[in-house]
Amino acid sequence: MMVSARRSARMTGVLALAVFAALIAVLPAAAQGRTIALVGGQLLDGYEANPIHHAAVVIEGNRIVAVGPAAEIEIPPDAEVIDTRGKTMMPGMVDAHVHIMILGHGDYADWFPWFEGNDDLVYETSAKQLLMAGVTAGVDLSAPMSSLAFRDRVNRNEVPGPRLLVSGPWVTRYAWDFLPDELRVLHRTPEEAAERTRMLIDAGVDVIKTWIGTTEEDMRAIKSVAGPAGVPIHCHVYEEEVVWGAIRGGCDVLQHAGSGGSVPAYSQELVDHIAMEGIPVVQTISHRIWVYPATLEFPERLWDPDIINSFPEPIREQVLSSYTKDDFWRKPYFRSTPRQIRNSERAARQFIDADAVMAMGTDTGSPLNFHAESAWREVSALVDMGMTEIEAISAATKVSAQVLGLRETGTIEPGKLADIIVVDGNPLFDINVLGYVTDVIKDGIIYKRNGVPVWEMNRAQTSTSGS
């Protein structure tokens, strides 16, 4: 009976993937030779600087070639003009903590058995949702090795999604019972940790992610392999002693540190050390303590058509079935969330007050944390915790790109890759307008226009011409 159910789910996923592939087959071709001009709106270039009002940005191919006040920019006569008056142009957001293998489902123990055999469908859905939300680049921090092939497809613009870096499976001593085996590479000694790291690097991962149970000695062994290979290490850390061990072992990016009160606030000594040494911190502060009370206050968000309708039918069924009762707070993932909320204000503010290097990362895909809205919620949470709007936008664009080593994106300036979004309103007045992304350009390709994904526009045109 179990085998039959698994085969049925797999076939449902295959059929859905075929439909999805048919839709994205009408994606625009590479932007070779194409000229686009965004004209009239406010421009935030990713730096902590004053906006340019009534601005213009000119794109040729996949590169930005001109930026400035529209009155001073010559718009090529063959350019496709996007009218951005009344809106804000800014760099595409860069998410420094993505999970393309999960989609906001409420219970990992139920999700992962279904995920097996449906991985491509899940990856493509996650990537599409992220891109439509204005995330044009990011790093995926834990997925099976199949995520490497998907990364390559996205980065070749064969499927819609943000440009991706991937870690593949995480390196850990800890085996969580319900996680698929292909999601982790286990080790028992520092020597084995180094061996597993070499295996992942040889397979082509962009970063190494260490997870629960990694000791300082393990970290040193991992660094001895990853450092010479030029592969950065992202460390899943919470408790203060674990953070210190990761730092001493050579961790490059601290993930979850001070994450919304998951642990009591850190000592000032640790915070000051991180800030003075310029060790990047990715807090992921909204993934429990913002989305949890938001859902208590407005459980209808779980049935938001803009979110639910972005899921193919089999995934929609899986996600909705995990929230069929209004008692999500009883799920294991949220058992310590009330305590986290009580600790959150000081813990989340510490690194902001210390002026540490902070990138924007969402832990997107975790329960209640939907790809379609995780980025704007995280940036909004950073503002709630003390960043100015322009600082939070810079953290979500320029700083995140720098932390991930994506030197050709994250800002809008001549010579950079054309990763640009348009939002409906002024995020310097209300940061939450980042939730209203009307236009998305990645690598010089228009993926969203006037609030509509391009593949849906193409499908409508195809349907009209065929009738």
Q: How confident is the model at residue 261 (pLDDT cuts 50, 70, 90)?
A: low
Q: Residue 80: what are its φ and ψ, rounded to 5°?
A: -80, 115
- Write down the pLDDT at residue 445: 97
Percent of the chain with pLDDT over 90: 72
CA 247 to chain centre: 24
pLDDT in tens, 157-173: 999 999 999 999 999 98
CA 258 to chain centre: 19
- Write down the pLDDT at residue 348: 80
Distance CA 251, CA 218 (A): 11
Measured at the alpha carbon of residue 393, what is the angle toward residues 38 and 56, in degrees to the nearest 5?
15
All structural domains of the chain, each given as residue ranges with its CATH number in brackets, are: 35-91+411-466 (2.30.40.10), 93-403 (3.20.20.140)
Query: What residues does 82 pair with on adjacent strands?
Result: 38
pLDDT for 126 beyond 70: yes
- Write down the pLDDT at residue 25: 46
Q: How confident is the model at residue 260 (pLDDT cuts 50, 70, 90)?
A: low
Span 17-35, mean pLDDT?
53
Q: 363 — alpha (psi -120 to 50), left (phi > 0) or beta?
A: left
The packing angle between helices 119-132 and 2-24, to 10°, is 40
Question: Which stretches of 372-453 are DSSP H helices?
Answer: 374-384, 389-394, 400-403
Neighbours of 327 (CB within 10 A): 8
- Write down the pLDDT at residue 347: 79
CA 122 to chain centre: 15
Which of 342, 253, 328 minimizes the C-alpha distance to 298? 328
In the numeric block, the tokens 């011409």 are attached to: 465
pLDDT for 277 beyond 80: yes
End-to-end CA distance of the chain: 44
Least confident of 97-101, 251-255, 301-305: 301-305
Q: How confident is the model at residue 466 (pLDDT cuts 50, 70, 90)?
A: low
Least confident of 172-186, 285-299, 359-373, 430-444: 172-186
DSSP H or E stretch at residue 193: helix 190-203
Span 16-42, mean pLDDT?
64
Which two three-digit tokens encode residue 235? 């460390």
Span 118-141, mean pLDDT?
97
pLDDT in tens, 304-343: 998 889 999 999 989 988 887 667 788 888 888 888 888 7
Span 82-91, mean pLDDT?
98
Question: Which stretches of 209-312 are DSSP H helices?
Answer: 216-229, 240-249, 268-277, 291-297, 305-308
pLDDT for 66 beyond 90: yes
Percent of the chain with pLDDT over 70: 89
- Write down the pLDDT at residue 133: 98
Sign of the Cα torsion 382, 386, 389, 392 reads: negative
Break the chain down into helix, strand, coil percent, rounded to 5. Answer: 45, 20, 40
Q: How confident is the model at residue 258 (pLDDT cuts 50, 70, 90)?
A: confident
